[in-house]
Amino acid sequence: MKMTYFGHSAFRIDTGRSVILIDPFLSGNPHFSGDVAKASEGVTHILLSHGHSDHVGDTVEIARRTGAKVVGTYELVNWLKSKGVDTIEPANTGGTVKFADFSVTLTQAFHSSASIEENGTITYLGMPNGLVIHFDDGNSVYHMGDTDIFGDMALIEELHQPKIGLVPIGDRLTMGGAVAALACRRYFNFKTIVPLHWGTMPILDADPHRFLEAMEDEASRVLIPEVGQPFDI
């Protein structure tokens, strides 16, 4: 199984049977210099943590072109349906959706979720979520979405035991590096941790050094992948 990081919070996971995009913010993503069509080639599923534009990204175009099933909270995917996405899979916090070779469970996240239109209209898009993905081969990934630390992360570990953590560290709009490290060290037994949501906006931390410093003797668990280059999970 291979994973590719596209910068910000966007990932691709190839299982051999399914091709999953998570929060596919590609167009306008300063860390992504590839081709959207190539990055989304063969995609079968799109998983969304919440409705902000830097996470929904290219979902509408990709879903229309590929027919990929779009999973997200009820309000978000029905809003996408109004934009022309017919292949929606509504869910909500605590719910699980099962597919051919993986399942995805929506967990809580402490953030917000809305669309801000060009005319300034704000559309509420449900609660933000984290995403726990269990694969039939035994792998498991927890994409935290955009969030602060919260004590019930301990329950996510107890319920799901995710092996790979995709963790926001950029501060200002999510928890910062020191707090993210505390979350990883206190609540999880991740085998591999990939820091995300950094360096793509001037208000975010420019690099993961605060996170790496705060991970201290556990920094060896942190993987900072090259954008656009697949790696094994």
* Region of 106 on the Ramachandran plot (φ > 0 left; ψ -120 to 50 alpha; else beta): beta
Summarised one tens digit per residue, pLDDT across range 123-139 is 999 999 999 999 999 99
- In this structure, is residue 171 part of a structural domain? yes
In a domain, 150, yes or no: yes
pLDDT value at position 146?
98
Q: What is the pTM of this model?
A: 0.98
Confidence of residue 117 (pLDDT cuts 50, 70, 90): confident
Task: Considering only the C-alpha atoms of the chain, give the largest distance between any 2 of them, rounded to a whole number of Å.
Answer: 49
Q: How far is Cα 76 from Cα 124, in angstroms, rounded to an integer?
A: 8
Which pLDDT tens digit goes with each residue over 185-207? 999 999 999 999 999 999 999 99
Q: How many domains does the chain have?
A: 1
For range 103-114, the mean pLDDT: 98
Q: Is the pLDDT of residue 101 over 90?
A: yes
Which has the minimum average pLDDT: 113-127, 178-192, 210-224? Answer: 113-127
Please give the backbone phi and psi of residue 2, each rounded to the nearest 5 degrees, phi first.
Answer: -120, 145
The pLDDT of 24-40, averaged and rounded, is 97
Domain range for 77: 2-225
Establish if 99 belongs to a structural domain: yes
What confidence score (pLDDT) does residue 148 get?
A: 98
**232 located within any domain:** no
Is residue 231 a part of any domain in this protein?
no
Helices (H), 104-176: 153-160
116/123 Cα distance (integer angstroms): 7
Let me know: does 132 contact 126? Beta carbons within 8 Å.
Answer: no
Q: Does any domain span residue 133?
A: yes
The CATH number assigned to the domain holding 136 equals 3.60.15.10
Asked whether the predicted pLDDT for residue 118 surpasses 90, the reply is no
Q: Is residue 35 part of a domain?
A: yes
Rounded to an integer, what distance in angstroms lies between the CA atom of residue 24 and that of residue 7? 10
- Residue 140 belongs to a domain: yes
For residue range 145-172, list pLDDT tens digits in order. 999 999 999 999 999 999 999 999 999 9
